[in-house]
Structure 1
Amino acid sequence: MHTMWKGSISFGLVNIPIKLHAATEDKDISLRTLHKECHSPIKYEKVCPICDKEVGKDDIVRAYEYTKGKFVVLPDEELEKLKKENEDKAVEIIDFVKIEEIDPIYFNRSYYMSPNEGGVKAYALLRKALETSGKVGLAKIIIRSKEQLAVIRVLENTLLMETIHYPDEVRSTVDVPNIPAEEQVTKKELDTAILLIDQLTTDFDPDKYHDEYRTALMNLIESKKSGQKTVTSKMKAPQTSNVTDLMAALQASIDKTKPEGTRQKKTVRKRATPKKMQA
């Protein structure tokens, strides 16, 4: 499993060297966009709308737009220095709470935590302490240049870290449009709804749920492959030139630039003058 972050996490005076591994993966089927005429993949280029030319990586700087059309440019050196200063800090568990107190809307990404060299015993200690107390740890960590608030809990004998949103990143429900006010619901309507819920209530088994659209899309792709309903992009032919003409042009250029005395002269064979007949 790929290691995406190395560091340490601490609670109190206990320091645990750890590695982070992505706990989930995106299994969306990625579709390419092709030119309808020749089925070649479309390229997306970075173009400056003012200079009307393609911009390379070395010509790009990062900036913050503090008002429409006005920016503060942030040099890469300063951003890297700021990132390094924060990433070097150990991740510290700042609080312990009950996970039931955290609404699911706050949860973002999940990462497995494994002990790095010398961290096995401390890792086992934190795991056991969390299991026994029934609590989860709240910590801060820098991932991909962003400070994250995270929950550390136990999942099947493994420490799991789940990043969570800060409160100001969660939009307020009062901003949601067209929410109906309290409506008068009859007892019969409510009883019927509760009955339906009871009938559909079951234990959560994640293995029973599948991405039916992804399965159908893959079946469609496979059926087209087996039926040879595929297309091939037209490769752009490399630029070629007429070798004969090119060599002739080169030779002509060489001949033209030779000094006058070294050029080959056509020799004209003169007819021999007949000797006068002796009388």
Structure 2
Amino acid sequence: MHTMWKGTISFGLVNIPVKLHAATENKDIKLRQLHKECHTPISYEKVCSRCEKEVANEDIVKAYEYEKNKFVVLDDEDLQSLRKENEDKAVEIIDFVKLEEIDPIYFDKSYFLAPDTGGGKAYVLLRQSLEESGKIGVAKIIIRSKEQLAIVRVYQNTLVMETIHFPDEVRNAGEVAIPDNQQITKKELDTALMLIKQLTTPFDPEKYQDDYRNALLDVIEQKRAGEKTVETTGKPAPAASNVTDLMSALQASIDKNKKKTGKQGTTKKPSSQAGVKKKAQ
């Protein structure tokens, strides 16, 4: 399993070197866009709508739109100084709470935590402490230059870190238009409760599947088996140096961030408080 981050969980005065692995994967079927006439994949260009010309990467700056068509431009020095400031901080577990106190709306993405070299015993100690206390740890962590709120809990004998949204990232439910109180009769309520009781069962994730994805895969396989396929019939135009495929640009950005955050961090003496400290790969 690919290691995407290395760091240290500090449990009191115990340091646990760990490796981070993505616990879930997106299995959506990605469909490419082709030119209907010659079946050549469509590329994406970065074009200035005002100048009506393609723009090279070195001619692009980042900015925040604080009002319609009004921006604050941020240069690389501004962003790099923030990254360095955050990278040097020891990030500590803030609280221990009960899992049921956190509404599922806050949860974002899950990661497996595996012990790194020499961290086996301390890893088991933290795992057992969380199990017996019935608590989870709440912490802040920096992944790829982005600070995130997270929890650490036990899942199937493995420590799992789950990033969760900050409170200001969860929208106010009061802004949703909902019907006013309706007069519900006792018979209607009793019937609804009876239906819920009939459909109540222990949760078994294996019984659920993505029917649409499976059906789409069947259609694709049937077309492939029946040789209902196409090939590019025309010669693709040579790619200009400033025309970049969207996925290539995204991957290049990720690789660039990895290089920027790749220096070895300085190990700091852990505080008496439980904590998590980031250590770049």
TM bucket (normalised to shorter chain) is 0.7 to 0.9
What is residue 171 of structure 1 aligned with on the other side? Answer: 171
1:56-107 CA deviation, whole Å, 9 max, x = no partner?
A: 2222111112222222222223313322331343432110000010000010
1:145-178 CA deviation, whole Å, 9 max, x = no partner?
A: 321111100011110011111111111111002x
**Corresponding residue SS for 2:6:** strand
Contact 1:11 1:92 in 2 (8 A): no
Count the aligned residue pairs. 238
Distance 1:217 1:139 in 2: 40
Displacement after TM superposition at 1:4 (Å): 1.0
What is residue 112 of structure 1 aligned with on the other side? Answer: 112
Contact 1:4 1:22 in 2 (8 A): yes
Q: Which amino acid aligns with 2:197?
A: D
**Corresponding residue SS for 2:2:** coil
Contact 1:16 1:115 in 2 (8 A): yes
What is residue 52 of structure 1 aligned with on the other side? Answer: 52
TM-score, structure 1 normalization: 0.81
Q: Please show how residues 91-130 of structure 1 align to structure 2 within 5 Å.
A: 91-130=91-130
What is residue 197 of structure 1 aligned with on the other side? Answer: 196
Q: Which amino acid aligns with 2:189?
A: L
What is residue 257 of structure 2 aligned with on the other side? Answer: none
Displacement after TM superposition at 1:238 (Å): 8.4
Contact 1:8 1:90 in 2 (8 A): no
Displacement after TM superposition at 1:208 (Å): 0.5
Larger radius of gyration: 1
Question: Identity of paired residues, percent?
Answer: 69
Q: Please show how residues 1-279 of structure 1 align to structure 2 within 5 Å.
A: 1-177=1-177, 179-236=178-235
Distance 2:188 2:115 in 1: 54
**Greater length-normalized contact order (CA 8 Å, ≥ 6 residues apart):** 2
**Corresponding residue SS for 1:91:** coil
Q: Which amino acid aligns with 2:165?
A: H
Q: Which amino acid aligns with 1:35?
A: H
Contact 2:40 2:236 in 1 (8 A): no
Contact 1:151 1:161 in 2 (8 A): yes
- Counterparts in 2 of 1:37 and 1:237: CA distance versus 1, 3 Å: closer
RMSD (CA atoms): 1.6
- Counterparts in 2 of 1:237 and 1:74: CA distance versus 1, 3 Å: closer
Q: Which amino acid aligns with 1:180?
A: P
Distance 1:204 1:87 in 2: 41
Q: Which amino acid aligns with 1:39?
A: H
* Residue ranges of structure 1 left out of the alignment (5+ in a row): 240-279
Distance 1:195 1:238 in 2: 64
**Corresponding residue SS for 1:223:** helix
- Counterparts in 2 of 1:237 and 1:117: CA distance versus 1, 3 Å: closer
TM-score, structure 2 normalization: 0.81
